[in-house]
Each structure stands twice: as structure tokens, then as C-alpha cells.
Amino acid sequence: MAYRYGDREQYQLLPACIDDYVGVNDPVRAYDAFVDALNLKELGIDEDPDQVGNSEYDPRTMLKLFVYGYSYGSDRSSRKLERAAHHNLSFIWLLGGLKPDHKTIANFRKNNKSALEQVLKQSVRMCLRLGLIEGNILFIDGTKIRANASLKHTWNTPRCEATLKQIDKRIEAIMAESEASDGDSESLITLGKELREKESLRGKVATILEELKRENRMSINTTDRECVPTRSIHGSYSGYNGQIAVDEKHGLIASCDVVRSSVDQGLLSSQVSHAMETLGKTCSVAVADGGYSDLGDIGRIDPTVTVLLPVQRQTDGRFIYDKVSNTYQCPEGHTMILRAVNHGEKRFQYKMRDASVCKACSRFGSCTKSRDGRTIGRSFHEDISQQLQENLQKVELQRMYKKRGQKVELPFGHLRRTLSVRSFLLRGLAGAKAEMSLFASAFNIRRMVTLLGNVPSFIAAVGT
């Protein structure tokens, strides 16, 4: 079978019009139409084509560059976006032939973090208008994403104190060596230079230690002061916790957020509130995994919202609680009264009035071996725990909870595999939130095109 060979000297002509570079069904047209449908004023971007001074790039065109560029995943850096504007036909079409340099691209992203963070919110409102998002049932989950900072630049109190001791010890040694140098000018110059470096380092470490104590923080990364030490299946690193809420109807992302936390525990109420604020309505059901099981935090969720979340049983089911008398009844029918309150563990402790009752019981030895008798702990939020257990015992709610994996894991799979999201490029919490919004918007746009049938249908829908 013969081979086909390319010919670099073959004359070819691109279409005379840039608009003919891409076909009517090319995905880039969907991203172009999406950004055209955005309200830049609500995003916080001012459009003033009549401003005085040197001309600058159209902000809407620059926004198209980022929304489309983030859909490519690995082409997120300003230099790669600059290269794409010169060599990639879809980027050339999108920008209308404009070729901003990497510095201009980087500055636009840096100066419009808050605007980029609002892109997803407008896409969600667009989906609500088109009936693609209902906002009734939300699935919440999170993933750890690396920050643009090395873990070795993370300082905590023990490390600061140990480093200061080493520096002080070395400064003393330098002073001793200076006295023993017997006026050797070359040695004094070398020791003087090292002494200045150590004193400068000591001042920096002391400042970090003071900041740790003043802000009551566990650690500070000197490269990105807002990231936190994180551990996942990928190892230990400095990072952020990316959170999303996925709508049940078509699996579109209803909201996203980035928080400074290495765990999901205690984040559910804030994420549900954030999602409802983005949607502009109250959801009816919020679904999450056991990593969010902070009963105190769950108690802060709107009581009209049904929460589906697995929790461990807080007390032995054989002991019956009487809410009226605030007592427990043991399996043998004896009454246990409130004897102590453990504020640290946030639990009430119930015991027999007389410990001898337990000693004389036939269950002594299996129920308890304590001379003080059996102790039952009841969480401050036991009522919430029981309600969560009751929710998951209902058949229709069990079916709903089983959808959690397929609904919320798909977007994360798209972000990790298709968009190659391994780390944030921007430093600081505001930058991480801006990038997370672009990632989520890129997922929604691609999903919307699929749901609406094709690119022309998408363009017609978002343009109405």
C-alpha cells in the first residue's frame, strides 16, 4: 500500500475572510456567543470605546480569550494563550485577528479576578432561563487543587522557633570566629557578609512568627499566603479546596467556590447558601458525602432544605431517650439522668443515679465494666443526627442519594482529565476563585451545547 506524504512547498490560500476560518458547527462559535451574551457591567468590567488615551484591547474580546482558553485546559498560561493567538485558527477567528502579547493577557487576568469569578453566575442564570437548571436538588462535593506555591515555603510556629535558634547559634559562632580571626581582613569580609545575611533572615522569620501569633494561624506560605497545607491521594502539597454544587436535572454546575481548608467538614452550610445565592432561589434537597458531617454546621442550613448525608449513630440504639424528662432508659428499664456536660466534645453525659444499679445488673461486664456504671453520651446536635438518619431510611431519598456519585463526580472528572486541572496559575484566594469559575463555566458551556443539540442551536438559545 502506498504512503501519503506532505508537501510543505505546496501553495495554499486561507480564506480571504477570517470568519470563514471555522465552520458553523465549530465549538469556538459557542464560546463566542456565550461571552457576547454576558453583561459586562454586571461582571464589573467597564466598556468605554470613547475613552481618551492610547487604545487598548476590547475587554469582551479578552474575556473570550480566557473563557475559550480555559476550555483547552493546558493552554491556560499567558504565553500559551499568546502562542495560540498567533498559530491556532480557532483563536485567530475568536480574536478577529488580534494578537495580544503575554504581558497584556496576564495583566487582564490579574486585574479582573472579581469579574472572572462572576462568569459562572451569569452562565447559571442563563441555564435557569433556558430551563436547563432547576435548582431544586443540589449535589455538593469538593476536590483539592494545588496552589502555585511550594510546600517547602510553608512556615509554622515550631519551624520558626527552631530556625531562629539555629540562626542565633550561627550568629554567635560568627562573632566568635571574628574575634579569633586576628584582624584577617579577608576573613572579616566573608564573616561580615554571612552575618548580614543571617540577621536579614532572622528578621524575616521573626516577622512570620509574629504574623502567625497575631492572626492565630497554623501556618503561612511565604509564596502564597492564603493557601493551606493539603494532603490527598496525590501526596502533600500547598493548595486550596475547590467546591461545586451540581444541579440534579442535567448535571450542570450551579455554583462553585474555593476555600482555605484541607477538609470538607464544616463547609456544607456555606456551600448550600452560596449555591442558593447564585441561583436566586432556595433549593429543596442538598446531597453530600460523609466528609461534610459536621452536625453543628448542618444545623445552620435553612430548615426547609432536606439534607441527605450519611452520619454515624451517636448513641447506642438500645438506650431510649425521653425528650420530656431529658433522661435515658437502659435495656433493663432503669433511668439514666444528666450528670455532666462536656463542652469540648459537645456532648451531654447521662448516668444512673446510683452506680450500684449497674453493678447488680445481669448485663454488668458486657454493657460496662466501670465501677461508676454505664455512661451514655448525647451530642448537642443529636436531633439533627436522628433527622439525617431518618432521611436516608426513606426509599425515594435513598434513590436520590445514590445519584450523588454520577452527578457530582462527572464534572470533577472533566476538570481533571479533559481540562487538565492540576493546579491554579494565579496566587491568592481571589485568583483561585476566578480560575475555578472559568473551569466550571467551560464545563457548563460544553454540556449546554450537547443538551441543546448543536452549536447553532446553542447560539440561537443564548442570543434570545
DSSP string, 328-344: EE-TTS-EEEEEEEETT
Confidence of residue 438 (pLDDT cuts 50, 70, 90): very high
Domain boundaries, the chain: 18-47+55-124+453-462, 133-145+241-308+388-437, 151-221, 320-380
Query: Strand, helix or coil at 436?
Result: helix
The Cα–Cα gap between 228 and 419 comes to 23
pLDDT band of 425, cuts 50, 70, 90: very high
pLDDT digits (tens, 9 = 90+) for 357-397: 888 888 888 888 888 888 888 878 888 888 888 888 888 88
Mean pLDDT of 457-463: 91
* Rounded Cα distance, 439 and 145, in Å: 12
Residue 245 has pLDDT above 60, yes or no: yes
- Cβ-based neighbour number of residue 218 at 10 Å: 10
Give me the residue label for grid cell 466550571: 440
Query: What pLDDT is attached to residue 186?
Result: 76
Asked if residues 447 and 250 have their Cβ atoms less than 8 Å apart, the reply is yes
Map grid coordinates 455532666 to a residue: 340
Q: What was the pLDDT predicted at 103?
A: 95
Distance CA(433)–CA(454), nearest Å, equals: 30
Could you give the C-alpha distances from 282 to 137, 271, 407, in angstroms and in order? 10, 13, 20
Output the pLDDT for position 32: 95
Distance in angstroms (rounded) separating the CA atoms of residues 426 and 110: 8
**What integer is the mean pLDDT of 203-222?**
90
Q: What is residue 99's predicted lDDT score, i.e. its pLDDT?
A: 93
List 289's β-bridge partners, or say none. none
The pLDDT confidence band at residue 348, using thresholds 50, 70 and 90, is confident
Choice among 69-73, 257-261, 305-309 with the minimum mean pLDDT: 69-73
Q: What is the pLDDT of residues 84-94, one digit of tens each?
A: 999 999 999 99
Sorting pLDDT into bands at 50, 70 and 90, what band is 183?
low
The residue whose grid cell reads 535558634 is 165
pLDDT at residue 299 tops 60:
yes
Q: Read off the pLDDT of each residue in 136-158 and give the average, rounded to a whole number.
A: 93
The mean of the pLDDT values for the chain is: 88
Fold of the domain built from segment(s) 133-145+241-308+388-437: Nucleotidyltransferase; domain 5 (3.30.420)
Distance CA 408, CA 246 (A): 6
Query: Which residues are bridge partners to 306 per DSSP?
Result: 285
Contacts of 69 (CB under 8 A, 6+ apart): 75, 76, 80, 81, 84, 91
The mean pLDDT of 180-189, rounded to a whole number, is 72
Q: What does the CA dihedral 387, 392, 393, 398 come to, rounded to 10 degrees?
A: 150
pLDDT of 273-286, one tens digit each? Answer: 999 999 999 999 99
Q: What is the rounded average pLDDT of the residues 213-238?
A: 89
In angstroms, rounded to a whole number, what is the distance separating the alpha carbons of residues 345 and 124?
40
Give the amino acid at 344: G
pLDDT attached to residue 315 = 64
Give the span between the Cα atoms of 123 and 253, in whole angstroms. 9
CB 459 within 8 A of CB 29: yes
